[in-house]
Amino acid sequence: MIEVENLTKSFGGGRGIHDLSMDIPGESILGFIGPNGAGKSTTIKLLCGLLKPDSGSASIDGIDVTPSNYDKIKKTVGYMPDIFGVYDKMSVWEYLDFFGAAYKIPVGARKKRIEEVLDLVYASHMIDYQVASLSRGMTQKIGLAKTMLHDPKVLILDEPAGGLDPQARIEMREIIVNLREIGKTVMLSSHILPELGTVCDLVAIVAKGELRAFGTVEEVSASLKEKLRYSLIVDSDPQVAEATVANFHNVSDVSLSHSEILFTFDGARTEIADLISGLVKSGTRITSLSEEEIDLESVFMKVTSEDDE
């Protein structure tokens, strides 16, 4: 649905993006993350036709993002920036009706479409609210409803959960997942990494204008060959098990708490089978052995750590 090939835009002094390439399939959610100044906003603006690249290309739903196609791109893409304008003296209905007219939605179809998008963002009850009275979470929902008025195939959302309380973030997460379920492709830029890890099919990590990692969280984590953290629970002498684990190669940071042994392993996952075999030979009865769940924040810090180095 979104194809980017060697996309480059330079602002001098190393700022911008450099040779960015990625393919995003339809009906998926991409988490687009990176430190401040990494090139996220530049990439988004290039995809929306708000900036012209120095070189490289991009296409959305088979449409090349070029000046001659900007009208088609605007019909295909819905873009919600992190800060967007609202008209405080309007009601929610008037606000959406105004943008419906801007999108050239016929008057006869506009009422139904406004009701549909409000329903999608759990905001049907806000239809007569004054825009000035909306909370941050309510405003974000209405902004997303406005972005979907023209029924775009692709949604590019910049920090949609920024500044929201926990309940509002949960609702926004549910809304975004529902958008994928109805056939939308979502490109989601956010700094709330735990939120992204729970909803995204793919992640793209950028730093200093370069794509550092792309794929599922699991694929990116595996490609880093990062240390794995394990929890071992035994139903036998835990001190014997702890000694066996501690003496196994590539094991570090071993700790014992009651019958649970935590340890870090810096080897191939297949070698864990050898550790299990050694534990059994030592007379250890294993209740469970589990690898800690992959954490997107840890992956992000690992991918971008070379900048600090």
Give residue 247's pLDDT.
Answer: 94
Same domain, 188 and 231: no
Query: Which of 162, 189, 215 finishes a domain?
Result: 215
Q: Could you tell me the CA-to-CA distances from 204 to 40, 88, 218, 242, 298 in Å, in that order? A: 10, 36, 12, 39, 14
pLDDT tens digits, one per residue of 16-41: 899 999 999 999 999 998 887 788 88
Q: What is the arithmetic mean of pLDDT over 203-228?
A: 78
Which residues neighbour 25 within 8 Å (Cβ) at sequence distance 6 or greater? 1, 185
Same domain, 231 and 207: no
pLDDT tens digits, one per residue of 98-134: 999 999 999 989 999 999 999 999 999 999 999 999 9
Give residue 309's pLDDT.
Answer: 43
Give residue 28's pLDDT.
Answer: 94
> Per the domain annotation, does 302 fall within a domain?
no
Same domain, 230 and 293: yes
Structural domain for 274, as ranges:
226-297
Query: Which of 165, 181, 215 finishes a domain?
Result: 215
Closest by alpha carbon to 302, among 230, 203, 231, 232? 203
Same domain, 106 and 73: yes
Q: Could you tell me the CA-to-CA distances from 107 to 89, 114, 117, 124 in Å, in that order? A: 22, 11, 16, 19
Residue type, 277: S
How many other CB atoms sit within 10 Å of the CB of residue 52? 11
> Per the domain annotation, does 307 fall within a domain?
no
Structure tokens given for 226: 């990062």
3-state SS assignment for residue 93: helix
* CATH code at position 107: 3.40.50.300
Better-scored residue on pLDDT, 12 or 308: 12
pLDDT tens digits, one per residue of 73-107: 999 999 998 888 788 899 999 999 999 999 999 99
**Residue 158 clears pLDDT 60, i.e. is over it:** yes
